[in-house]
Chains A and B, each alone.
Chain A
Amino acid sequence: EMQLVESGGGLVQPGGSLRLSCAASGFIFSNYYMGWVRQAPGKGLEWLTNINKDGSGKSCVDSVKGRFTISRDNTKNSLYLQMNSLRAEDTAVYYCARIDWSLDLWYFDYWGQGTLVTVSS
């Protein structure tokens, strides 16, 4: 059974850092692009960043550029999100999601259950 399990969320002070992990199982992780999406409390969904199969290509939304970095370790079937210089507005549930990609078209076909990040003093 396919699973994506996020971890690493918690309470962090403004200006602090946090590293989220997403453990993948049930599929060949290295065959897929992956991404992160977040959802602030009571709000909608916001795409953050994607990474290609071998980690050599990344893209991210302007609001987190320079602060958040996506990475992956295909030997560990794991996806990561390094978050630095955290702000109160980064408080959200963070989802990792698998990407189905073909013909330059893509979508998120499976999502993890999410991990909550709270930025507060």
Chain B
Amino acid sequence: DIVMTQSTLSLPVTPGEPASISCRSSQSLLHSSGYNHLDWYLQKPGQSPQLLIYLGSYRASGVPDRFSGSGSGTDFTLKISRVEADDVGVYYCMQALQTPTFGQGTRLEIK
């Protein structure tokens, strides 16, 4: 199975400041189509997960443009340009190139 590693488990951020969350895969997630099979989900406290970014860099419907996804192959990054209080929660990366697997999650908290 492809192992997804989010090296930062907790990320305290001051509102208005940027934040960056990394995700590394044990194998390349580059699909033959040229897209990376990597998605980002946010699970806010007490809620179910919601899709933020799909195929590496495409924002889901309704997701603010403060969120962006980048990377290719095995290294990926989710960036929030200016963190707001509503962004708190656990961020998960997920690959579906093979049997789907999630990263351990990165908990973003407000300083």
Does the CB pair B105–A114 fall under 8 Å? Answer: no
Residue of B with least CB distance to A100: B54
Q: How many A-B residue pairs have CB under 8 A?
A: 59
Contact A45 to B39, CB < 8 A, known contacts A104-B33, A107-B54, A111-B48: no
Bound Cα distance from A61 to B49, whole angstroms: 20
A107 touching B96 in the complex, CB below 8 Å, given contacts A44-B105, A100-B54: yes
List CB contacts (< 8 Å) of A84-121 with chain B: 95, 100, 103-114
Decide: A47 and B100 in contact? CB cutoff 8 A.
yes
Q: Quick check: is A73 within 8 A (CB to CB) of the other chain?
A: no
Residue of B at shortest CB range from A113?
A: B48
> Which residues from chain B sit less than 8 Å from chain A, CB to CB?
31, 33, 35, 37, 39, 41, 43, 47-51, 54-55, 60, 90, 92, 94, 96, 99-105
The CA of A87 and the CA of B102, in the complex, are separated in Å by 22
Contact A44 to B102, CB < 8 A, known contacts A105-B35, A106-B96, A107-B54: yes
Q: A47 contacts which of B37, B102, B103 (Cβ < 8 Å)?
A: B102
For A, the interface residue count at a CB cutoff of 8 angstroms equals 22
Residue with the highest number of chain B CB atoms closer than 10 Å, among A105, A107, A111, A113: A107
Those 3 A-B pairs whose CB atoms lie nearest each other, nearest first: A47-B100, A111-B48, A107-B54
10 further contact pairs, Cβ within 8 A, besides A44-B103, A95-B48: A44-B104, A45-B41, A45-B49, A45-B94, A45-B102, A45-B105, A59-B99, A104-B31, A107-B51, A108-B94
